[in-house]
Amino acid sequence: MKIVIAGAGEVGTHLAKMLSNEDQDIILLDNDQARLDVIDSNYNLMTWNGSTSSFSSLRDVGVSNADLYIAVTPYETRNITSCAIAKRLGAKKTVARIDNSEFLNPDNGAILKDVGADFLIYPENIAAQEIAVALYHNWARYWGELHNGGLLLIGVKLHGDSPLLDCKLRDLPVKTHDFHVAAIKRNNETIIPNGNDEIRRDDIVYFITTPPFIQEVREICGKKKRIIKKALIVGGSRIAQRFAKLYNEEFHIKIIDNDRENCENMATILPNCEIVYGDALDIEVLRENNIYQYDAFLALTDSSETNILSCLTAKEFGVPKTIADVENLQFLSQAENLNIGTTINKKLFASSHIFKILLDADESNSKFLALADAEVAEIYVKHNAKITKSPVKDLKLPFGMTLAALVRENEIQLINGNTHIQECDFVVVFCLSGTIHKIEKWFN
């Protein structure tokens, strides 16, 4: 598939790298040659120096036969203009990054669609929604919903009080098989486990389960349910403002920011929230603002380092749930090892969102980017596929993958050794990054 990405910013670059590893034809368009040079010499894609809203450069990159045009510069008007041009020049689908919730309204969206922007992504909005999900399910590190919530992927960090610790997966102290351990993350390393692997203290364990058994999973992990009422936000970034805007009724929100102008601005647009001017790295400021009383601490400044450190501080103050925005991908796995609760990354959200748009065309396979180095894929079982030949336990499947669940006639069931996969099922597979090609051949 030919994909043109306009804008070599953080989101654009990340998408380009990721999609080029997925064997797509990528052309990255930007007008900063120095930035393009780094990417050009190291990745299997083509770069083009030109303006994203120039007719001639869009023609030069051959937008007329592009299957997807993604405009992800930081400026929404430029993105929309650029999509409009691309669409008229013949791009099949266009995606524009926006920065304004008004556009997401279905009626307004229709107007934009007329102009030429087929899909809109609003990374800050996605991030805000993910934060809310993390606050509702605050006992989990990661909460992913597949199949409209019919199937759940829950990542939990296990501390001392779980009955699961130090026992092999084949003899877990549970009677039922209402969940799967799909992956274990231990010190930067993701393990796709089999029956002989053990769960250790401080592992992040990823369960796949269905909604009726959430309670059970939570209990065996030794976690308590807690309802979050008050959230303290550090940093008045765009994500913070978006979150406050969307959820100021569900939560009592206080935002601390160290830019007076920004504070005044937020005070006018977010009348239901408390806005405080101060430096969040200063412990006195946190004390003054009664950090002890808050159920959740959200570090959403533009600096990943500040976010990680201030979450650690908040944990020391005894805040039960902390969430850090870690935009720097190198820090992401380091941050997960630290005791800072959930980490969010705008880039990963945006790219996984675009991925879904991309794969809409190809219905047999959709993929969710859950973790840094593992993937959850939903694969359609084709006629006469190898995987339908016998029950799962007799298949001699390759290592490094877990068949988690299947969807048959809209009914979701977990897979165990005796399950016999049939044609036309959708199978949810958990695997390490880059091994998906090996797995796909079982389904074709």
Residues that bind other proteins (CB under 8 A): 2, 20-21, 23, 25-27, 33-34, 40-46, 49, 188-194, 196-197, 373-374, 399-400, 432-433
Instruction: Let me know: does 269 contact 245? Beta carbons within 8 Å.
Output: yes
**Beta strands across the sheet bearing 426-432:** 365-368, 374-380, 426-432, 401-408, 411-414
Distances (CA, A) of 396 to 170, 389, 399, 417, 424: 18, 11, 9, 11, 21
Residue 67: CB atoms within 10 Å: 15
In whole angstroms, the minimum distance from the beta carbon of 91 to other proteins comes to 15
Task: Evaluate whether 297 touches 319 at the Cβ level (below 8 Å).
Answer: yes
Give the residue with the Cβ less far from other proteins, 42 or 268: 42
The residue among 191 and 357 lying less far from other proteins, judged by its C-beta, is 191
124 by DSSP, 3-state: which?
Answer: helix
Nearer Cβ to other proteins, position 34 or 227?
A: 34
How far, in Å, CA of 296 to CA of 38, rounded? 39
Which stretches within 248-401 are classed as H helix?
260-269, 283-288, 304-316, 329-337, 346-360
Closest approach of other proteins to the CB of residue 33, in Å: 7
Q: Which of residues 189 and 411 has its CB atom nearest to other proteins in the complex?
A: 189
Distance CA 89, CA 102 (A): 27
Q: Which C-beta is closer to other proteins: that of 59 or that of 252?
A: 59
Angle between helices 238-247 and 123-136 (to 10 degrees): 60
Residue 368 Cβ vs other proteins, minimum distance, rounded to whole Å: 17
Name which of 4 and 231 has its Cβ closer to other proteins.
Answer: 4
Nearer to other proteins, 70 or 255 (CB): 70
Closest to other proteins by CB, 21 or 419: 21
Q: How far is the CB of 6 from other proteins (least distance, A)?
A: 14
Please report how close the Cβ of residue 15 comes to other proteins at its closest, in angstroms.
Answer: 14
Q: How far is the CB of 439 from other proteins (least distance, A)?
A: 13
Q: Which of 168, 137, 169 is nearest to 153 (CA)?
A: 137
Is 169:212 a contact under the CB 8 Å cutoff? no
Q: Which residue has the tokens 């993350």?
A: 185
User: Is residue 262 packed enough to be buried (19+ CB in 10 Å), middle (13-18) or exposed (0-12)?
Assistant: middle
Residue 5: both structure tokens together: 């990405």
Show the tokens assigned to 294.
């808050």
Between 98 and 371, name the residue whose CB sits nearer to other proteins. Answer: 371
In angstroms, give the least distance from the CB of 22 to other proteins.
10
Least distance from C-beta 94 to other proteins, angstroms? 18
Dihedral of alpha carbons 318, 324, 329, 333, sign: positive
Task: List Cβ neighbours of 193 (8 Å cut-off, separation of 6 or more).
Answer: 169, 181, 183, 184, 402
CB of 204 to other proteins, least distance (A): 14
- Angle made by CA atoms 294, 295, 298, in degrees to the nearest 5: 85
**Shortest reach from residue 398's CB to other proteins, in Å:** 9
CA distances from 241 to 12, 127, 200, 282 (A): 23, 11, 39, 22
- Alpha carbon distance 112, 381 (integer Å): 37
Report, in Å, the least distance between residue 198 CB and other proteins. Answer: 10
Of 13 and 306, nearer to other proteins (C-beta) is 13
Q: How far is the CB of 39 from other proteins (least distance, A)?
A: 10
